Amino acid sequence: MESKQKSLLFQFEGKPTLKEIIPLGLQHVVAMIIGCVTPAIIVAGVSGLSPQDKILLVQSSLFFAGIATLIQLFPIFRGIGSRLPIIMGVSFAYVPTLTAIAGEFSISTIFGAQVVGGIIAIIFGIFVKKLVKLFPLIVTGTVIFSIGLSLYSVAINYVAGGVGSSTFGSPKNWLVAFITLGVVIYLNYFTNGKLKLASILVGIIVGYVVALCLGMVSFTDVQASGWIQTPKLMHFGMSFNATAIISMVIMHIVNSVQAIGDMSATTGGAMNRVPTDKELSGGVIGNGISSIMGSFFGCMPTATFSQNVGIVTMNKVISRSVFTFASVVIIISGLVPKFASILTSIPQCVLGGATISVFAAITMTGVKMISSTKLTARNTAIVGLSIALGVGIVQVPDALALFPGWFISIFGKSSIVVTTIVAITLNLILPKDEEESIVINKEENINIK
């Protein structure tokens, strides 16, 4: 009986007991919840939102992360959703682009651009088999590498106390941040099991307690917030700007490629197979639909969460019941302002200390993808030139000073945009390495047969 119960956990349609579902589902919630709400907190700070709107932004992130997960678990009209055991949430990868748009325009511009980006993601999903060829490992790895690099300044600003803070750069902020980071590092490399999986959450709790003892936490907003509140339609408004749209479209395409990688890792690591074209297409389309839906209620773009993919590949549990339970818990969390307000009361130095390890992991994921290919003269040129131009332009604020405003907004605010465009272009125009050409020709012959 026990063997049969265990086997149900390893079947997508399996229905284990609630006793099995609850701890496994909560494990996924713990792994994703901080990563899901932190982008909202960061963007709220850049946008100058009121505490109430900041709480609402966090609520929407949780609520629609749960909805996006359900769409993936229970496909709509057979083509919207992957029908794979994955968890969705608001992605850190969008943070540099979101903060650039919020800083130059407004938060409503984010949601307008997000609608268009979601539409592009849907189109990408429909033609995924053809479009994915534009993103080999060397291109995807370079882009993810640039995303990680661009997030470091965000992390350091938070470690120092947050831009605009009266205590910005104080030793106290750095002390709390390093305590938080120390806990995360210790749990990641000196423990196993649940503690390791929840390292970021535990690190934030420890950092929060230390900050509380140092008088750095205010509960004013927690006391003022209510217990139940639903996301509000068009509360943040929606406006459309061409430069913001271009940046967001590029990020949705990059995110779609990353989603393909996460879905492939899920099926390969936990189901011993490669994903079908239908699963990949449905997953990307479902993500596009989720982003569009969320934009009307104040939720920023969603994505597959790689940390949860890691859990699935480790424990092999793919029962849809486990993921359904997790998504319901996430949705309920998004309906409780009191819970969201507690999350927004976390000092920025604590978030900085916890998330810098996440940003480092994103960077190294890109490095691993790049190093998994042969570092020929062609590939090193793609990586080196793309990063040099993308990061270099952003590091010199006046490099494009005499260009039109719209040009600066697109190419001078986010290194990811320039890196992506240069990497794709170089991959298309530089002559293929001889071995790579042979492999490509063999693959094409196999596909024709």
Q: What is the pLDDT of residues 299-348, one digit of tens each?
A: 989 988 776 776 677 667 888 998 999 899 889 888 887 877 777 777 88
Q: Mind listing the pLDDT tens digit for each residue in 370-428?
A: 888 888 888 999 999 999 998 888 888 788 888 877 777 777 767 777 888 898 899 98
Name the β-bridge partners of 89.
303
- Gap between the Cα atoms of 421 and 322, Å rounded: 39
With beta carbons less than 8 A apart as the criterion, state whether 131 and 254 touch: no
Non-local CB neighbours of 141 within 8 Å, separated by 6+ positions: 366, 367, 368, 369, 370, 372, 373, 383
pTM strictly above 0.85: no
Q: Kindly indicate the confidence band of residue 198, based on its pLDDT and cuts at 50, 70 and 90.
A: low
383 exposure class (CB count in 10 Å sphere: 0-12, 13-18, 19+): buried
Question: In the structure encoding, which two tokens stand for residue 251, read together?
Answer: 């990020």
Q: In this predicted structure, what is the pLDDT of residue 163?
A: 65
Mean pLDDT, to the nearest integer, of 3-32? 75
The alpha carbons of the chain give a radius of gyration, in whole angstroms, of 22
Helix (H, G, I), strand (E, B) or coil at 117: helix
pLDDT digits (tens, 9 = 90+) for 355-376: 787 778 778 878 888 888 888 8
Domain residues of the chain, as ranges? 2-375
Distance CA 115, CA 95 (A): 17
Assess whether pLDDT exceeds 50 at residue 446. Answer: no
How many angstroms separate the CA atoms of 275 and 434, rounded? 29
Helices in 271-347 by DSSP H: which ranges?
A: 277-295, 306-315, 320-334, 337-344
How far apart CA 100 and CA 231 sit, in angstroms, is: 25
Q: Which tens digit of pLDDT belongs to each residue from 88-119?
A: 988 877 888 888 888 888 899 999 999 999 99
CA distance 129 to 117: 19
What average pLDDT does range 258-282 have in this prediction? Answer: 82
Instruction: Region of 81 please: left (phi>0), alpha (psi -120 to 50) or beta.
Output: left
pLDDT band at 132 (very low <50, low <70, confident <90, very high): confident
pLDDT, position 444: 42
- The residues, ordered by sequence, that sit 6+ positions from 389 with a Cβ below 8 Å of its Cβ are 418, 419, 422
Lowest mean pLDDT among 175-184, 220-229, 270-279: 220-229
pLDDT band with cut points at 50, 70 and 90 for residue 448: very low
Using 50, 70 and 90 to split pLDDT, how confident is the model at 6?
low
d(CA 252, CA 117): 6
For every residue of 365-426, DSSP letters joined together read: HHHHHHHTS---HHHHHHHHHHHHHHHHHHHSTTTTTTS-HHHHHHHSS-HHHHHHHHHHHH
Q: How confident is the model at residue 197 (pLDDT cuts 50, 70, 90)?
A: low
Q: Which of 42-56, 112-126, 150-164, 177-191 has the lowest mean pLDDT?
A: 150-164
- Asked whether the beta carbons of 216 and 176 are under 8 A apart, the reply is yes
Tokens representing residue 434 in the block: 């001889």
- Angstrom CA distances, 28 to 121, 264, 332, 350, 419, stand at 25, 19, 15, 22, 32
pLDDT band at 204 (very low <50, low <70, confident <90, very high): confident
- The length of the chain in residues reads 449
Average pLDDT, the chain: 82
CB 140 within 8 A of CB 253: no
CA distance 68 to 88: 6
Q: Is 180 helix (H, G, I), strand (E, B) or coil?
A: helix
Distance CA 281, CA 273 (A): 16
Query: Is pLDDT of 290 > 90?
Result: yes
Q: What is the pLDDT of residue 1?
A: 44
Q: What is the pLDDT of residue 447?
A: 40
Q: Which of 58-72, 191-205, 320-334, 431-445 comes out lowest in average pLDDT?
A: 431-445
